[in-house]
Structure formats: structure tokens, C-alpha cells
């Protein structure tokens, strides 16, 4: 190989790992960070634990539903629960979220019924919730597009003149490590920077973009990119729900008070396949997955709760049972989702009547009816 | 003749391999084309055999892929770019339309950009949005691009090699739901139908059905069904959309006097409109009925659980055929 494509690649032996903001070690030990004091009650910590367990269970159920052919595909969040619950629970009522297709746990925090997430993956709709109702925009599959929408939304909030007031809302855009290569994402950084938009760019660096490792996207740690655009960037342990909560809280508050954008790189790992159609054994080593297993985002919270005598076996069992129950309900509701009616194809395309489309719709309706006339089910 | 039974996906792979063996300037580039071999495994094993310099896993940026392919072509390479799914070509639309298509003319012929853009296209695989689109008309509308669509393993094998050999940019559509269709492919042969020729894939007398890409198979099935009812359908696989082999089409329609065009893309403003207009101009006095079009509706591609209603199927094709006779 004559092309020097590995020079300075992140993770290269001998190159120091950049500072990772961490408040809870993988062993479940609480550590302090001067910039991110966090004071959580036992109840708050237990609530975070409950969230983590539930979203993992829901995710596993969706994977199972896909294996059984009930969903067409599923993008699992396995391993990224802390990044999503931590940041999701930092959100306030006025904040607005622009997710990718993997933010199931953030959706959970925004009270989007898990069933609603399944519609897209089962193929009964393309989204199906009202973004304004939940402060949670539709999933975006085209990589990076939503970062510009988020930036524009934040520019709108800015123009409303509410920043610094109690009704100020920050905007948070989720995206992956792969997405950082897209023009749209880089343009979002530029717009957010020059307009000082009230936005948090929340990048879940799960180390992979399908089969491509981070080195295919960047030679410097992603959070360092922010500096070049002119706003702060930081890297947080994405498997540490405390740190993700604290860091996102602060970044959101900065946005709400008119201090502009922040890039948060949540350093985490996609424990599962990219989606249920992907086969990671083709491109990554089991050993890497094993190493990340030791940094599990849920185990460390459990260890902390146990070590500090904040929860007993009954609590853990209760959460487990609740999660199982929710997963079961989700399964039943998924199976009960009706297939769309054929003529629903023509719904919600335009706000006002569209003669050509109406004509097509009428023709198609007549065509379908012709089968019924023949006594053939259509 | 060395015939091998290959799926369309494997035939693509074999064609790419031949082109890379023949010309060291041929590069393959795109998202996940290396170790993974592409999400449809079309480039499977190429990086292992030709190295990372020639089979390039690019950063996740379609404009970057096509833009740098243009630069590589300026430097004498022949990049074959993979766009992972039809719906993701749009970030690269600017590079394709404003740059790639026009460079030869702007340079008064001094610059050749032999770039191939492979796009798996069409629906029917139960995918989520942006994974089932048929964006061919955007590209056939852009002068300076050649646009082709293969429908079977034999053509996949030859057409990809011909496209790579072309001195002009080629947008190459692959029918993703046909990737697993099999046929015997002569993997040593080079005696191919010219890239821009259409093929009569089933001879018939009563009506001409025009199709390309994934719809060809559906039309052949429709023709088979119609034959049972005594109706003889001629099916033409256009193969090339721009340039269009209008001669083969006209010859057929002059004989049959009836024509139905089938594609998955929306009918309105679709490629079928061009065919209908051109056939009307050339065959006006031979036509027994207007050219009818069967395709997608004037709606976004629907959720997958209802896509079978959106996609032209055997019944809708035969319905249109019937209507041309009822005229
Ligand atoms: C514009 C565009 N190109 C390609 C794809 C296909 N694709 C889907 S996910 C993905 C990788 C995304 O990686 P990353 O941004 O790291 O997010 P992750 O999936 O790891 O959460 C690709 C290439 C797409 N959805 N959109
Ligand atoms: Mg990623």
C-alpha cells in the first residue's frame, strides 16, 4: 500500500486518547468533574436506570419482531442507551429534537409511544407522529439532512426573541460519526456558528458507519472539529448516563441563554449490527465488541445503585418486569397495526386539492373496484 | 463460451472484476464497497483482490464521491461510483448535473470524464423510505449523461463493462429487487449487444410493451399470461434510456399499432412521457390507440406495506393492454 491513509488515525497506538468527560466509571464509581457538577437524588438515578432498561428491552423486542418478519428492518440502539437517555432527560419542555433513525430512547424521553416508532420500520407509514406535539421531529434517514433543519429551527427560536427567557427552547440535532462527512452537516455547523444559533449538535460516535470505521471519516477526534467552525466542542463518555446528562444540560442551557452552539461528541459503541440486515462479522472483530461490553451503560448504573445501597433486588426485578411487560404490549400492538389501505397512498401529499392526483386516485379506486365487481378480493 | 450461472448481483461483480483486470485505471468507490462488498455485495471481494487504492471505502458523502470521481477522471482514472440507494443520489445531484455532465462541452471536447455512477433502483424489497425510488428521469433530462438500466444478469455483466469503457459519464441503474435473479452468463464473451441498443425480449404481434430495469420481468410475466388468452405481446427491454434506441421501438409499434409503457417512476413527467411523445410523432398513422403508460402515482413512494399497490404489476399492465384494445 503506497497511500498513507492511516497516518494519525484516531486510536493509533501511541496517540493519546483525548479527554473524555466521565462522571461514572464502567465499574460504577462516581467521579467528579470540575465543570460538570451533578447532584442526583436516589430516585432520579433509579429513574434513569429504569429508562435505560426499558429502552433496551423495547429495542430488543423490535429486533425480535424484525427477525420474525413483523418489521422490515430495525436500527438497534444497543450500547447507545446512556448517550440517548442522558441527553434526552436533559431536555426541557420547550426544547426541540431532530433525530436520525436510531434515537428510540430520545423518543422515549419525549413521550413518543414506542409503537409509533414501529410504523416506519414495519412499513405502514413514513413517520406518523406530530413533531410539534412531542418536541421531537420525524426520523431522518438521509444522512445529515436534519442537522440543517435543526439549525434553521434554532434560528427561528432566536428570531422569536425568547432566548434568555423561561420560554426559551434549545434545539438539539442528533447524528452519527459517519454523518460528520456530509456536506449538510458541515453547512449546518457553518450556519449555526455565524448566526450563533441556539443549538446543540449531539454526535453519537458509535465508531462505525455501517462497515466503515471512524478513520474513514476523520483523522482528528470529532469534537475537535467544532473549533474550526468557531464554537465549543467536547467529548463525553457516551456510555455514562450521568455525564451525558450533565454535559447536555449545560450545552442546552448555553443555547437557551443565547451563548450559541455546542458540539457534543458522545463516545460510544454500536453493539449490534448497523441494522437487522447487516452482518458485522464481515468487517469488525469480536474482540472489539467484547472490550466495549465491559463499558456497558446499564451495568455501571446498576453497580452504582448496589454499591451505594440505593436499590434492592426488588427494585431491579420490578424494573425488569415492567420492561418485559412493555415489550409484550409493544409486540401485541405491532401485530395489530393495520396495513395501510391502498388509497391511503394519495393521502397527505398536498394541503389543497391537486387535480391530477385526484384524477389518478379516482382511476385507481375504479380499477380496484373492478376486481370487487368480479368477486375477486383486492 | 464459459457459461456460469450467476445472479444479477454476481454478474455485476464479475463484470466489474473483468473491467478492473483489463484496465488498471478502473477504480471502484463508494460507501461500504470495500470490506463489506457493498450492502448488496456487488463489490464483494474486489478490495481483497485489487487493494484499497483501487477499491475505496469513501467518507459518507455522496457529493464528495462524485466530485472526487470527477477529479480522479481528470487525472486519467475511470471511477465506478456506487450510490448505496437511489434515494441517496441527491446530495450528489449538483456534481452530476452541473459538473460531470457538462465538462466535455465546456472544455470544447478537451476533457473526457469516464465516470460510471451505479445506482441500485426501484422498489419491491419492503424497504423504508428513500430505498425504493426510480430517479432516472432526473438524469435522462440532463444532457451530457448517458443513462442505462440493466434488467438481467447477462446484460448486467456486459453493460457494466461497456459503461466503464465509455468515454462519457454513464448513470447505471441496477434493478435491486432483481439482484437475486439467475441466468447463464458467458463470462468470457465480448460479443455483446451495443450498450445503447434496445432488445426485443419477447416477440409478439398485437401490442408492444416497453420497459427497462426491474419492470422488464414483470412485463414478460404479463406477456406470458396474455398469451394464454390469445393475445400476443411484444416486450422490448429498452436497456438504454439516453440515448434512446427509438428505431427498435418504432419498428415494433409500426407492426403492432399499440403500445404500453411501463416503469416504476411516477407517470407524470416520467420517462414514459418522452416515449409516448416520440412514438406519437413517428408512428401516428399506425397507432390504433394512444400510447398508454403504467407507472407510479403522483405521490411520494408509499410505505412498503402498500408498495405492491403502487408498483405496476401484472394486472395493471394487462389492464392497460386491454384498454389499448378497447380504444
Ligand atoms: C445520504 C445518505 N447516504 C447513504 C445512506 C445509507 N446509510 C444509512 S446509515 C449509514 C451509515 C451512518 O453512519 P453514522 O452516521 O455513523 O450513523 P449510525 O448508523 O452509526 O448511527 C449509511 C451510509 C443514507 N441513509 N443517506
Ligand atoms: Mg456511527
Ligand 2 centroid, distance to A235 Cα (angstroms)? 15
pLDDT of residue A8: 41
| Architecture of the domain whose range is B3-186 | 3-Layer(aba) Sandwich (3.40)
Q: Which of B148, B254, B155, B259 is nearest to B201 (CA)?
A: B155
Ligand 2 centroid, distance to A150 Cα (angstroms)? 19
Cβ-in-10-Å burial (0-12, 13-18, 19+) of A214 comes to buried
For residue A142, which atom of ligand 1 is closest to its CA?
A: 26
Contact B171, B145 (CB under 8 A): yes
Residues 149-178 of A with CB under 8 A from B: 178
Q: Which of B18, B16, B21, B19 is nearest to B33 (CA)?
A: B16
- Give per-residue pLDDT as tens, A279-307: 999 999 999 999 999 999 999 999 999 99
For residue A206, which atom of ligand 1 is closest to its CA?
A: 20
The three cell numbers of residue B190 are 465480448
pLDDT of residue A18: 59
Q: Which residues contact B15 (CB under 8 A, 6 or more apart)?
A: B156, B157, B158, B159, B160, B161
Query: Can you tell me the distance from the alpha carbon of B146 to that of B139, in angstroms, rounded to the nearest whole number?
Result: 8
Query: Can you tell me the distance from the alpha carbon of A138 to that of A158, in angstroms, rounded to the nearest whole number?
Result: 22
Q: Are residues A364 and A264 in the same domain?
A: no
Judge whether A277 lies within some domain: yes
In this complex, which of B32, B61, B130 lies closest to A181 when CB atoms are compared? Answer: B61
Residues 141-180 of B with CB under 8 A from A: none
Judge whether A4 lies within some domain: no
* CB atoms inside a 10 Å sphere around CB B274: 18
How many domains does chain A divide into?
Answer: 2
- Give per-residue pLDDT as tens, B23-72: 999 999 999 999 999 999 999 999 999 999 999 999 999 999 999 999 99
- Give per-residue pLDDT as tens, B9-23: 999 999 999 999 999
Q: Are residues A156 and A225 in the same domain?
A: yes
Name the closest ligand to CA A144.
1
Mean pLDDT of B252-281: 98
The three cell numbers of residue B240 are 438504454
Cβ of B53 within 8 Å of Cβ of A3? The answer is yes
The residue in chain B having the minimum alpha-carbon distance to the alpha carbon of residue A4 is B53
pLDDT of residue B31: 98
Q: Are residues A136 and A239 in the same domain?
A: yes
Q: Are residues A351 and A290 in the same domain?
A: no
pLDDT of residue A16: 52
Query: Can you tell me the distance from the alpha carbon of A24 to that of A242, in angstroms, rounded to the nearest whole number?
Result: 7
B52 touches chain A (CB under 8 A): yes
Contact A337, A373 (CB under 8 A): no
Q: Are residues A372 and A283 in the same domain?
A: no
Domain boundary among A318, A335, A352: A335
Q: Is the pLDDT of residue B95 over 80?
A: yes
Mapped onto helix, strand or coil, the DSSP state of residue A311 is coil
A348 touches chain B (CB under 8 A): no
pLDDT of residue A375: 61
Is B196 part of the annotated catalytic residue set? no
Judge whether A5 lies within some domain: no
SS3 letters across B277-312: HHHHHHHHHHCCCCCEEEEECCCCCCCHHHHHHHCC
pLDDT of residue A372: 85
pTM exceeds 0.90, yes or no = yes
Portion of chain A with pLDDT greater than 70, in percent = 94
CATH number at residue A290: 3.40.50.970
Judge: domain B199-325, CATH 3.40.50.2000.
no
Tally the C-alpha atoms within 13 A of residue B40's C-alpha that lie toward its C-beta.
Answer: 27
pLDDT of residue A17: 58
Pocket test for ligand 1, best of B65, B82, B88 (most atoms within 8 A of CB): B88
Q: Is the pLDDT of residue A11 over 90?
A: no
- Give per-residue pLDDT as tens, A175-185: 999 999 999 99
Residues 273-302 of A with CB under 8 A from B: 277-278, 282-283
Domain range for A304 is 42-335
Instruction: Please give, rounded to a whole number of angstroms, the shortest distance from the CA of B36 to a CA of chain A.
Output: 6
Contact A291, A227 (CB under 8 A): no
Query: Can you tell me the distance from the alpha carbon of B172 to that of B163, in angstroms, rounded to the nearest whole number?
Result: 8
pLDDT band at A47 (very low <50, low <70, confident <90, very high): very high
The three cell numbers of residue A123 are 412499513
Mapped onto helix, strand or coil, the DSSP state of residue A209 is strand
Instruction: Please give, rounded to a whole number of angstroms, the shortest distance from the CA of A77 to a CA of chain B.
Output: 18
Ligand 1: which residues within 6 Å by Cβ? A 102, 141-143, 176-179, 206, 208-210, 270, 274; B 31, 60, 62, 84, 88, 91
Q: Which residue's entry shows cell 471502484?
A: B28
Q: Which of B119, B125, B34 is nearest to A277 (CA)?
A: B125
Cβ of B306 within 8 Å of Cβ of A344? The answer is yes
pLDDT band at A344 (very low <50, low <70, confident <90, very high): very high
Beta bridge partners of A209: A212
Tally the C-alpha atoms within 13 A of residue A374's C-alpha that lie toward its C-beta.
Answer: 9
Judge whether A153 lies within some domain: yes
pLDDT of residue A376: 53
Tally the C-alpha atoms within 13 A of residue B23's C-alpha that lie toward its C-beta.
Answer: 18
Q: Are residues A142 and A249 in the same domain?
A: yes
pLDDT band at B158 (very low <50, low <70, confident <90, very high): very high
What does DSSP say about strands B292-296 and B259-266: parallel, antiparallel, or unpaired? parallel
Cβ of B128 within 8 Å of Cβ of A178? The answer is no
Sheet of B207-211: strand order equals B199-202, B233-237, B207-211, B259-266, B292-296
For residue A12, CA distances in Å to A6, A221, A270, B152 come to 8, 12, 20, 45
The three cell numbers of residue A170 are 434549545
Query: Can you tell me the distance from the alpha carbon of A372 to that of B15, in angstroms, rounded to the nearest whole number?
Result: 47
Residue of B303, B309, B311, B316 to mutate for A, most A C-beta atoms under 10 A: B303
Mean pLDDT of A334-345: 97
Is A283 part of the annotated catalytic residue set? yes
- Give per-residue pLDDT as tens, A214-256: 999 999 999 999 999 999 999 999 999 999 999 999 999 999 9
Query: Can you tell me the distance from the alpha carbon of B37 to that of B54, in angstroms, rounded to the nearest whole number?
Result: 13
Judge whether A128 lies within some domain: yes
Query: Can you tell me the distance from the alpha carbon of B215 to that of B137, in angstroms, rounded to the nearest whole number?
Result: 15
- Where do the domains of chain B lie? 3-186, 199-325
Q: Are residues A275 and A353 in the same domain?
A: no
Judge whether A19 lies within some domain: no
Ligand 1 centroid, distance to A210 Cα (angstroms)? 7
Q: Which residues contact A230 (CB under 8 A, 6 or more apart)?
A: A193, A194
Q: Are residues A121 and A181 in the same domain?
A: yes
Q: Are residues A316 and A362 in the same domain?
A: no
Q: Do domains B3-186 and B199-325 have the same CATH topology?
A: yes
pLDDT of residue A14: 45
pLDDT of residue A374: 72
Sign of the CA dihedral B239, B241, B242, B247? Answer: positive
Q: What's the mean per-residue pLDDT of chain A?
A: 94
Q: Are residues A361 and A313 in the same domain?
A: no
Q: Are residues A366 and A281 in the same domain?
A: no
Judge whether A27 lies within some domain: no
Question: What's the start-to-end Cα distance of chain B, in Å?
Answer: 48
Contact B272, B221 (CB under 8 A): no
pLDDT of residue A82: 98
Name the closest ligand to CA A84.
1
Q: Are residues A328 and A347 in the same domain?
A: no
Mean pLDDT of B162-172: 98
pLDDT of residue B324: 97
pLDDT of residue A19: 84
Mean pLDDT of A133-137: 98
Mapped onto helix, strand or coil, the DSSP state of residue A266 is strand
Query: Can you tell me the distance from the alpha carbon of B291 to that of B287, in angstroms, rounded to the nearest whole number?
Result: 8
Mean pLDDT of A24-30: 97
Q: Is the pLDDT of residue A7 over 90?
A: no
Size of interface A-B (CB pairs under 8 A): 125
Instruction: Please give, rounded to a whole number of angstroms, the shortest distance from the CA of A327 to a CA of chain B.
Output: 23
pLDDT band at A10 (very low <50, low <70, confident <90, very high): very low
Instruction: Please give, rounded to a whole number of angstroms, the shortest distance from the CA of A143 to a CA of chain B.
Output: 8
Mean pLDDT of B184-197: 96
Mean pLDDT of A128-135: 96
Judge whether A79 lies within some domain: yes
Query: Can you tell me the distance from the alpha carbon of B35 to that of B30, in angstroms, rounded to the nearest whole number?
Result: 12
Contact A181, B61 (CB under 8 A): yes
Q: What's the mean per-residue pLDDT of chain B?
A: 98
Quote the DSSP letter at residue B125.
S
Amino acid at each position: 500500500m503506497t497511500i498513507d491513509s492511516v497516518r494519525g488515525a484516531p486510536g493509533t497506538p501511541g496517540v493519546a486518547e483525548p479527554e473524555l468527560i466521565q462522571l461514572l466509571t464502567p465499574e460504577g464509581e462516581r467521579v467528579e468533574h470540575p465543570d460538570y457538577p451533578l447532584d442526583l437524588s436516589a430516585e432520579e438515578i433509579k429513574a434513569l436506570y429504569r429508562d435505560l432498561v426499558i429502552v433496551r428491552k423495547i429495542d430488543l423486542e423490535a429486533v425480535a419482531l424484525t427477525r420474525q418478519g413483523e418489521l422490515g428492518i430495525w436500527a438497534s440502539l444497543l450500547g447507545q442507551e446512556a448517550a440517548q437517555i442522558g441527553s434526552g432527560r436533559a431536555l426541557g419542555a420547550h426544547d426541540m429534537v431532530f433525530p436520525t433513525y436510531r434515537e428510540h430512547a430520545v423518543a422515549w424521553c419525549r413521550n413518543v409511544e414506542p409503537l409509533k416508532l414501529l410504523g416506519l420500520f414495519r412499513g405502514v407509514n413514513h413517520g406518523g407522529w406530530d413533531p410539534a406535539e412531542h418536541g421531537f421531529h420525524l426520523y431522518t434517514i438521509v444522512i445529515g439532512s436534519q442537522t440543517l433543519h435543526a439549525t434553521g429551527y434554532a434560528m427561528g427560536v432566536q428570531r422569536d426573541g425568547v432566548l434568555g427567557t423561561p420560554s426559551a427552547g434549545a434545539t438539539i440535532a442528533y447524528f452519527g460519526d459517519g454523518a460528520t462527512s456530509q456536506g449538510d452537516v458541515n453547512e449546518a455547523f457553518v450556519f449555526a456558528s455565524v448566526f450563533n444559533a441556539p443549538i446543540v449538535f449531539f454526535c453519537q460516535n458509535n465508531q462505525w458507519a455501517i462497515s466503515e470505521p471512524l478513520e474513514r471519516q476523520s483523522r482528528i477526534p470529532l469534537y475537535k472539529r467544532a473549533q474550526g467552525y468557531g464554537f465549543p466542542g467536547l467529548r463525553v463518555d457516551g456510555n455514562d448516563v450521568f455525564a451525558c446528562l450533565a454535559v447536555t444540560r449545560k450545552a442546552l442551557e448555553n443555547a437557551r441563554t443565547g451563548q450559541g452552539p455546542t458540539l457534543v461528541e458522545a463516545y460510544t459503541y454500536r453493539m449490534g449490527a448497523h441494522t437487522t440486515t447487516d452482518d458485522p462479522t464481515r468487517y469488525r472483530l469480536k474482540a472489539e465488541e467484547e472490550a466495549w461490553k465491559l463499558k456497558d451503560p446499564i451495568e455501571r448504573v446498576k453497580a452504582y445503585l448496589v454499591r451505594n445501597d440505593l436499590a434492592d433486588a426488588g427494585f431491579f426485578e420490578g424494573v425488569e418486569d415492567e420492561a418485559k411487560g412493555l415489550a409484550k404490549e409493544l409486540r401485541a400492538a405491532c401485530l395489530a397495526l393495520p396495513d395501510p389501505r391502498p388509497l391511503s397512498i394519495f393521502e397527505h401529499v398536498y394541503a389543497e386539492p391537486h387535480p391530477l392526483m385526484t384524477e389518478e386516485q379516482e382511476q385507481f379506486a375504479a380499477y380496484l373496484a373492478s376486481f370487487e365487481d368480479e368477486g375477486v378480493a383486492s | 463460451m464459459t457459461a456460469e450461472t450467476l445472479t444479477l448481483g454476481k454478474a455485476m461483480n464479475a463484470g466489474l472484476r473483468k473491467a478492473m483486470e483489463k484496465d488498471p485505471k478502473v477504480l471502484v468507490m463508494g460507501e461500504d464497497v470495500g470490506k463489506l462488498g457493498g450492502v448488496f455485495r456487488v463489490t464483494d471481494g474486489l478490495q481483497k483482490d485489487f487493494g484499497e487504492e483501487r477499491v475505496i471505502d469513501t467518507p459518507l458523502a455522496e457529493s464528495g464521491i462524485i466530485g472526487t470521481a470527477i477529479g480522479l477522471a481528470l487525472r486519467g482514472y475511470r471511477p465506478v461510483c456506487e450510490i448505496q440507494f437511489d434515494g441517496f443520489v441527491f446530495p450528489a445531484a449538483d456534481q452530476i448535473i452541473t459538473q460531470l455532465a457538462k465538462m466535455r462541452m465546456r472544455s470544447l471536447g478537451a476533457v473526457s470524464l469516464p465516470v460510471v455512477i451505479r445506482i441500485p433502483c426501484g422498489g419491491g424489497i419492503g424497504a423504508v423510505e428513500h430505498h425504493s425510488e426510480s430517479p432516472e428521469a432526473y438524469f435522462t433530462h440532463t444532457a451530457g449523461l448517458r443513462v442505462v438500466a440493466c434488467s438481467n444478469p447477462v446484460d448486467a455483466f456486459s453493460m457494466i463493462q461497456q459503461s466503464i469503457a465509455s468515454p462519457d459519464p454513464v448513470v447505471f441503474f441496477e434493478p435491486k429487487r432483481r439482484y437475486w435473479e439467475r441466468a447463464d452468463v458467458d463470462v468470457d464473451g465480448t460479443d455483446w449487444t451495443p450498450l445503447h441498443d434496445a432488445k426485443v425480449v419477447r416477440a409478439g404481434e398485437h401490442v408492444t410493451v416497453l420497459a427497462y430495469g426491474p419492470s422488464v420481468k414483470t412485463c414478460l410475466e404479463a406477456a406470458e399470461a396474455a398469451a394464454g388468452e390469445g393475445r400476443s405481446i411484444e416486450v422490448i427491454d429498452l436497456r438504454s434510456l439516453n440515448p434512446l434506441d427509438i428505431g427498435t421501438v418504432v419498428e415494433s409499434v409500426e407492426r403492432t399499432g399499440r403500445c404500453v409503457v411501463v416503469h416504476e417512476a411516477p407517470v407524470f413527467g416520467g420517462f414514459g412521457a418522452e416515449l409516448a411523445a416520440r412514438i406519437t410523432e413517428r408512428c401516428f398513422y399506425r397507432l390504433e390507440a394512444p400510447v398508454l403508460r403504467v407507472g407510479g402515482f403522483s405521490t411520494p413512494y408509499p410505505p412498503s406495506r402498500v408498495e405492491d399497490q403502487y408498483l405496476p404489476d401484472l394486472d395493471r399492465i394487462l389492464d392497460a393492454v386491454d384498454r389499448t384494445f378497447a380504444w
